[in-house]
Structure 1
Amino acid sequence: MDRHPDRQRVRGRKHCADRPAGGASRRRPEKGRRVRIWAPKATTLDLLVGGTDWTEGQPMERIPLTRDGDEWDVPELPHGTAYGFSIDGGPLRPDPVSAEQPWGVHGPSRVFDTSTLAWTDHGYEGVDARGAVLYEMHVGTFTPDGTFHAAIEHLDHLVELGVDIIELLPIAPFPGDRGWGYDGVSWTAVHDVYGGPAGLAEFVNACHARELGVCLDVVYNHLGPDGNYLAEFGPYFTDKHDTPWGSAINVDDDGSEGVREHILASARRWFTDFHIDALRLDAVHAIIDDSPIHILAELANQTQALAGELGRPLRLIAESDLNDPAVITPVDEGGWGMDMQWADDVHHALHSYFTGETHGYYADFDDEGALEKVYRGAFYHDGTHSTFRGSSWGHEVPASIDGHAFVVYDQNHDQVGNRAVGDRPHLTEVESLSSLALVLLSPFTPMIFQGQEWNSTSPFAFFTDHNDELGPLVSQGRLNEFATHGWEDIYGEDFHVPDPQALETFTGSKLDWAEKAENGPVLEFVKHLIQIRKGEPSFASPDRAATRLESLGERQLVLHRHSSRLVINLSDEAVSVPAGELLLTYGDVSSDITVGPGSLAVIR
């Protein structure tokens, strides 16, 4: 979730549609062409068509379209055709359901025929995200080249590590060449710099050949301010609700039928046309829906039915700060039906325990019982008072919801990138491994952030590539955001906030793969942790009731998972625990299970 506070507000006016309409075509397009376009705001609509080698400034052919209610008929367009739309005689606008934007978010769209893709994953039966080992990847910084094709070179590394599913940060087209992707302006296209739709398909094919699943981070709660033209076509936004990004996506106001169908069609497209295994839904608390059926519940029902049709597991993972188990409660029980949700409270408790930081939202986790509580119930705030929010927050998780429904991590793009300088936690090696061991051996679904497996020191800063008008506002907004909040206590008075618009902020965030060889022992230790998680029933279990985190003393922890244990000793004194079979050790651990200072042990 991109929490940048200075995002410009993009507002659309209310519009009352006379009849239900689809944001995407009502029947599935063939040969990559569009059949109809939903544009209820247009009085006239012209199709502008160019050649496959369209370049800026070349005139395009204007074809008036035939209107049918809120939709407009579009003639067949061959694969590779550059095209756009003119609304009421205005300038070219990209297709709202574009498949490809090779000339950027302001340029024309290009027809992409997905039947031209050479799929080789016919024997692939899918990977279930629940309980899997997830790996969060930003395509642009994962390799020096920053493309899908370049990332394929490192897939065998992830297989050897034990990763099950790669979770890609948003890949929708966004302004410029570099960014996190949360300023995307399309729900159906793929950022061209990464390799476009063909590059995504090549990447998914390569992953599935290795039995690796792929999860896409999709952003249905807002669109970026630069290159977002949807409001000109239809009532995509509403002032009925307000969000951190301005007016809300219209899923429950007049004319919302087409917007809802656009979202549902986008999800279907990723699952069917690109063989995606799971979708991570950004900040679902900002998708405000007072309809009788919440859009997420409708999406859950659609996805469940589609999984049956395709014969492989399809999962929906929500990011939500509501601490409300209704998000992952089945639709027929009154919930939104998400399969899983991120559990930020687990991260916050781990981070506060290992770093000692208590500024901002970490203030609520300055509690010696916080870590134990989140391992018992996933949420720290389960109806308790949140000093950061200034109110009571959250609800208790019912015992019927198992641990695999929660995705946990001690690093991710938000928690690293939204720090003032984008730095990873400043921990010793044993502290880093202890924190990650608590993630990997938990009853939850664990996620590793790129490079964490070898204890990477590469930062992941906030970076953008906005135009000359918006760019300076973003840069200044970033400086203003970190002017307070006690960052001087962490970095010192002279710390420098990287300019998100500067190229070196982006290039400095790329993974340093040379560290992988330098930190070989750390990498091997993490591999063994993952093997234990998968191979030992006690650690593979999602049973929260059989999980207990115990403090033996200051900086001494034991994670009990059924009859197995993870013992962490970060104190200056050795600690002895009941005997058992040693599965993995770090530091000084004797055969009688005496764990020395700065050591840890996994015991059966």
Structure 2
Amino acid sequence: MRPRVWAPAAHDVELDLPDTHRREPLHRTQHGWWEADLDLPEGTRYGYAVDGAPPHPDPRAEHLPDGVHAAAAAFDATTFPWTDQDWPGRDVRGGVLYELHVGTFTPEGTLDAATTHLGELVALGVDVVELLPVAPFNGAHGWGYDGVSLYAVHEPYGGPRALQRFVDAAHRHGLAVCLDVVHNHLGPSGNYLAPFGPYLTPAHQTPWGSAVNLDQDGAHEVRRWVVDSALRWFRDFHVDALRLDAVHALVDGSARHLLGQLSDEVAALAGSLGRPLSLVAESDLNDPVAVLPTVDGGWGMTAQWADDVHHAVHALVTGERHGYYVDFGSPEVLRTAFTQVFVHAGSWSTFRGRPWGTPVPPGTDGHRFVVFASNHDQVGNRALGDRPAARLDDGALAAEAALVLLSPFTPMLFMGEEWGARTPWLFFTDHPEPDLAEAVRSGRRGEFGDHGWVELYGGDVVAPDPQDPATFAASVLDRAERDENRSARLLDWYRDLVALRRAIPDLASGDLGATDVHFEPDVDVEAGGSGPETSPGRDGARGWRGWLVVERGPARVVVNLADEPRRVPLRAVGPLTVRAAWSDVELEHPGDDEGPTHAVVPGRSVVVLA
């Protein structure tokens, strides 16, 4: 490895070699870069001292074996013996994604341990494994969003070689790998960028403080620092996709947005490598600019997360209306989400207290939007980290799964969801600094008043201490649950739904124009019906009869959240057969040659017809 670092304002920079207790001067080259005329063997510990200050890790360190406060180690990613030469790659659009956190996916909490479970994901029907951030952070345990190095891998997970082994093994199993990366901020402990250059700027502020410098003096090299890190994961670690965290916090007033630059460079690399490479943006803006082509002024992302779809499904099935669910929960809102993606597309957002969002252009491929019933945010940011399985009966869980997996979007599952895991997934940290630990505790407590958790759980709710080791331990998946009868049944259901999505083009389609949601108001008469103010079931929304039909071309996903059976009109053209049913269902046919007109669906159940 040839030592090289960007420090544009420095008067002198030295290479610090702690193992030999010596320093070597670097010489200035162009554009603020400094270099040394020597090569470091792999594993050599090193750091850089700017203007006589103590040494700090390389801002582009590829290996931090001794933690974020210690010297980096020289690392050559190109020496790994890859076996995936025949891997054709996989675009994320339309696939089934599976989000997992390395530290809690197995008791060992390592990438190598996670590799032993890849066969389970293949059996489930997963196409893409999405890893929560693996960037190094201080301490052993955390979500990963406090990382301080864009180029390295958290050592407790196994370090960079373990990530290469994981990707290589995933490709052998036919699985693509998506890596969650954080470019919008750095963690509070171990961030030593300031002595080197203007990586951050006070000209813009984010929820985490000063923004990454994308449009001020020195921004050209900061942008290269970000883009080069992304290209490296694709090129040297063979990952297939990157999920970009909270891109709305990438404040960029440049003529060309950082994401547009990144998209174009990734597209060029994909052409060079001969395989698809995907970028998936998490954005709170409800703005299709993320997926519009760069030639049209968009950011060129392959896909983006669509939280409104999650909110529409979750609020409908659970009946929750607190916090940001306040505008969600009706079948009308679900129809809007399934046909237009964004529920707030210029309309008033009660939670935000202002109009929000921009409509998705007609004809946009639904596969450009990643949707889910659970993810790390929607579970982990609840006060008690409780999953839907902790509050819903199995029939409602089955309905939730069908709504997501058979939607016109790109579905994603959260680890353990497929068997109805009841282990919580809590917010946990491992900051060794007492002041920082207390700041995290206080900040976490302060968040709950803004999201309606007291309303949901009651006034005596106490969120677990994120610094308590028991909080982390409680979040580790318990695979013994898979052997329980209820879990095994739910796992089979998920497998069946994924198989149907693969087998039936109508259920796999991303055509929003061929999707509709049919339901009827609660107007008494039919079986179990009463007045318009009657709830359809223990958790459902008021004002409707508890059933709805998601129409996917001629296919039908019929959901009944009422406690009682419902006789549901199908509005079908042509014959339909039951392809999957959570409970026994009866189809009513008008004649031998015509399709069914109604389905009699038991309470708390779902049926798929195609």
SS of the equivalent of 1:37 reads strand
Distance in 2 between residues matched to 1:110 and 1:510, nearest whole Å: 30
Return 482-491 or 342-351, whichever deviates more: 482-491
CA shift for structure 1 position 485: 4.0
Distance in 1 between residues matched to 2:418 and 2:110, nearest whole Å: 21
Q: Does 1:371 align with 2:334?
A: yes
Q: 1:542 to 1:142 in 2, by over 3 A?
A: same
CA shift for structure 1 position 483: 4.4
Q: Which residue of 1 aligns with 2:498?
A: 530
Paired amino acid for 2:567:
V
Q: Does 1:585 align with 2:581?
A: yes
Q: Which residue of 2 aligns with 1:452?
A: 417
Distance in 2 between residues matched to 1:532 and 1:368, nearest whole Å: 24
SS of the equivalent of 1:514 reads helix
Q: Which residue of 1 aligns with 2:108?
A: 145
Q: Does 1:73 align with 2:35?
A: yes
Q: Does 1:186 align with 2:149?
A: yes
1:331-350 pair list within 5 angstroms: 331-350=294-313
1:62-85 CA distances to partner (integer Å, 9 max, x unpaired)?
111111240101331111111111
1:129-278 pair list within 5 angstroms: 129-278=92-241
Q: Does 1:574 align with 2:574?
A: no
Contact 2:323 2:450 survives alignment (8 Å): no
Contact 2:331 2:519 survives alignment (8 Å): no
Q: TM-score, normalised by structure 1?
A: 0.92
CA shift for structure 1 position 367: 4.4
Distance in 2 between residues matched to 1:87 and 1:498, nearest whole Å: 42
Q: Which residue of 2 aligns with 1:602?
A: 608
1:372-451 pair list within 5 angstroms: 372-425=335-388, 426-451=391-416
Paired amino acid for 2:139:
G
Q: Which residue of 1 aligns with 2:21?
A: 60
Q: Which residue of 2 aligns with 1:510?
A: 476
Contact 2:396 2:605 survives alignment (8 Å): no
Higher relative contact order (CA 8 A, sep 6+): 1
Q: Does 1:478 align with 2:484?
A: no
CA shift for structure 1 position 486: 3.3
Q: Which residue of 1 aligns with 2:17?
A: 49
**Percent pairwise identity:** 51
CA shift for structure 1 position 115: 2.6
CA shift for structure 1 position 442: 0.4
SS of the equivalent of 2:237 reads coil
Distance in 1 between residues matched to 2:132 and 2:551, nearest whole Å: 33
Distance in 2 between residues matched to 1:189 and 1:405, nearest whole Å: 29
CA shift for structure 1 position 574: 2.4
CA shift for structure 1 position 160: 0.3
Contact 1:322 1:394 survives alignment (8 Å): yes
Contact 2:344 2:358 survives alignment (8 Å): yes
SS of the equivalent of 2:230 reads helix
Distance in 2 between residues matched to 1:368 and 1:521, nearest whole Å: 27
Contact 2:518 2:550 survives alignment (8 Å): yes
CA shift for structure 1 position 37: 1.1
Paired amino acid for 1:283:
A
1:505-551 CA distances to partner (integer Å, 9 max, x unpaired)?
11110001011121111101110000001110101111000000112
Distance in 2 between residues matched to 1:599 and 1:473, nearest whole Å: 45
Distance in 2 between residues matched to 1:366 and 1:588, nearest whole Å: 27
Paired amino acid for 2:439:
L
Return 62-71 or 275-284, whichever deviates more: 62-71
CA shift for structure 1 position 368: 4.5
CA shift for structure 1 position 42: 2.1
CA shift for structure 1 position 117: 1.0
Structure 1 runs of 4+ aligned residues shifted over 6 Å read: none
Contact 1:93 1:107 survives alignment (8 Å): yes
Q: Which residue of 1 aligns with 2:539?
A: none
SS of the equivalent of 2:121 reads helix
1:485-504 pair list within 5 angstroms: 485-504=451-470
Q: 1:85 to 1:407 in 2, by over 3 A?
A: same
Distance in 1 between residues matched to 2:567 and 2:373, nearest whole Å: 25
Report the RMSD for the aligned CA atoms in angstroms. 1.3
Gaps of 5+ in 1: 1-32, 52-58
CA shift for structure 1 position 43: 1.9
Q: 1:603 to 1:368 in 2, by over 3 A?
A: closer
Return 316-325 or 83-92, whichever deviates more: 83-92
Paired amino acid for 1:250:
N
Gaps of 5+ in 2: 521-543, 589-598
SS of the equivalent of 2:268 reads helix
SS of the equivalent of 1:83 reads strand
1:130-152 CA distances to partner (integer Å, 9 max, x unpaired)?
11100001000000000000001
Distance in 1 between residues matched to 2:125 and 2:280, nearest whole Å: 21
1:551-574 CA distances to partner (integer Å, 9 max, x unpaired)?
244220111000000001121232
Distance in 2 between residues matched to 1:216 and 1:103, nearest whole Å: 23
SS of the equivalent of 1:230 reads coil
CA shift for structure 1 position 493: 2.7
Q: Which residue of 2 aligns with 1:119?
A: 82
SS of the equivalent of 1:167 reads strand
Distance in 2 between residues matched to 1:561 and 1:419, nearest whole Å: 32
Distance in 2 between residues matched to 1:483 and 1:294, nearest whole Å: 35
Q: Which residue of 1 aligns with 2:5?
A: 37
Paired amino acid for 1:597:
G
CA shift for structure 1 position 495: 2.1
Contact 1:50 1:81 survives alignment (8 Å): no
1:103-149 CA distances to partner (integer Å, 9 max, x unpaired)?
11110000111132111101111111011100001000000000000
Distance in 1 between residues matched to 2:288 and 2:442, nearest whole Å: 38
Contact 2:547 2:566 survives alignment (8 Å): no
Number of residue-to-residue matches in the alignment: 565
Contact 1:41 1:235 survives alignment (8 Å): no
Contact 1:459 1:508 survives alignment (8 Å): yes
Paired amino acid for 1:305:
A
SS of the equivalent of 1:231 reads coil
Paired amino acid for 2:494:
V
Return 184-193 or 349-358, whichever deviates more: 349-358
Paired amino acid for 1:570:
L
